[in-house]
């Protein structure tokens, strides 16, 4: 069994499909991320036994899954695939629609995904087969507790922390031009003054922060980037709020997302 603490769970809004829940599992020894689970599941928000969805909803789920698979495959090559999503008529059968994909990145890091869709409902006594609408994407960093070789180095973590603190100082004094200079080139254009003002309003700039978890995260383009999660020093552990920050190898900020824990 992995030497990890219970997951910290955050919710992100979605359109046309269930909201995304992100589960972060961290190693007890150094708070390095052991696993990230991205989950889109109707059952997380509707606990009814016979929750059925329209064909348009199922198509939106399939589209999302294929987009995820496509982006990861661009970066890591073709997956090991089982099942397919071709026959929509199976949605109303006991078989349903299923597909899974897996990528082995290296000896420690792997990515896997699966989708399960079914509108079939059947009850026999105490047992019931219920409709299912879910997508899961796992990013796993397998290592022994004493092996920190695949975690971010202390030097890198120190660099990322320093750069983010510099960024926050710029936001405090509304020096948005200075804040943009700390961002990676690919996001500078989209980081307008209005965007940075909105970001500043979503962060408690008067509070001290500290590192909560570190690791790597797969972004929408299929790339893997260093990630540091910061929590407010006066927050409990696990924290109610974190700020997830993605970096490139040079310490430039690629993305910032304040997140609140799912209640």
Angle between the N-to-C axes of helices 193-201 and 154-172, in degrees from 0 to 180, rounded to the nearest 10: 100
What fold, for 154-260? Nuclear Transport Factor 2; Chain: A, (3.10.450)
Measure CA 8 to chain center: 11
CATH 3.10.450.590 residue window(s) in the chain: 154-260
Query: Of 230 and 220, which is predicted with more confidence?
Result: 230
Q: Please, are residues 34 and 141 in contact by the beta-carbon 8 Å criterion?
A: yes
Q: pLDDT for 156-174, tens place per residue? A: 889 999 999 999 999 999 9
Q: pLDDT for 188-222, tens place per residue? A: 989 999 999 999 999 999 999 998 888 877 766 66
Tell me the HSE value of 163 on the side-chain side, using a 13 A CA sphere: 25
Closest CA to 182 of 160, 212, 205: 160
Q: What pLDDT score does 170 carry?
A: 95
Residues 6+ apart with CB under 8 A from 125: none
> Residues of 214-230 as b/e, b for ≥16 C-beta within 10 angstroms?
bbbbbeeebbbbbbbbb
């Amino acid at each position: 069994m992995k030497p990890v603490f219970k997951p910290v769970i955050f919710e992100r809004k979605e359109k046309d499909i269930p909201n995304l829940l992100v589960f972060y599992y961290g190693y007890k020894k150094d708070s390095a991320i052991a696993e990230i689970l991205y989950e889109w599941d109707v059952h997380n928000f509707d606990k009814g036994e016979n929750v059925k969805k329209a064909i348009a909803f199922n198509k939106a789920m399939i589209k999302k899954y294929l987009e995820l698979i496509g982006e990861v495959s661009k970066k890591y090559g073709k997956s090991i695939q089982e099942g397919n999503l071709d026959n929509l008529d199976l949605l109303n059968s006991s078989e349903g629609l299923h597909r899974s994909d897996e990528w082995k990145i290296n000896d420690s890091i792997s990515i896997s995904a699966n989708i399960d869709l079914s509108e079939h409902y059947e009850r026999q006594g105490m047992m019931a087969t219920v409709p299912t609408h879910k997508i899961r994407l796992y990013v796993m960093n397998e290592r022994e507790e004493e092996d920190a070789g695949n975690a971010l180095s202390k030097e890198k973590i120190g660099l990322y922390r320093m750069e983010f603190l510099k960024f926050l100082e710029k936001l405090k004094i509304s020096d948005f031009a200075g804040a943009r200079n700390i961002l990676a080139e690919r996001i500078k254009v989209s980081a307008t003054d209005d965007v940075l003002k909105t970001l500043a309003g979503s962060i408690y700039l008067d509070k001290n922060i500290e590192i909560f978890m570190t690791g790597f995260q797969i972004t929408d383009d299929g790339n893997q980037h260093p990630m540091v999660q910061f929590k407010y020093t006066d927050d409990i552990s696990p924290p109610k709020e974190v700020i997830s920050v993605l970096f490139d190898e040079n310490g430039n900020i690629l993305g910032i997302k304040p997140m609140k824990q799912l209640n």
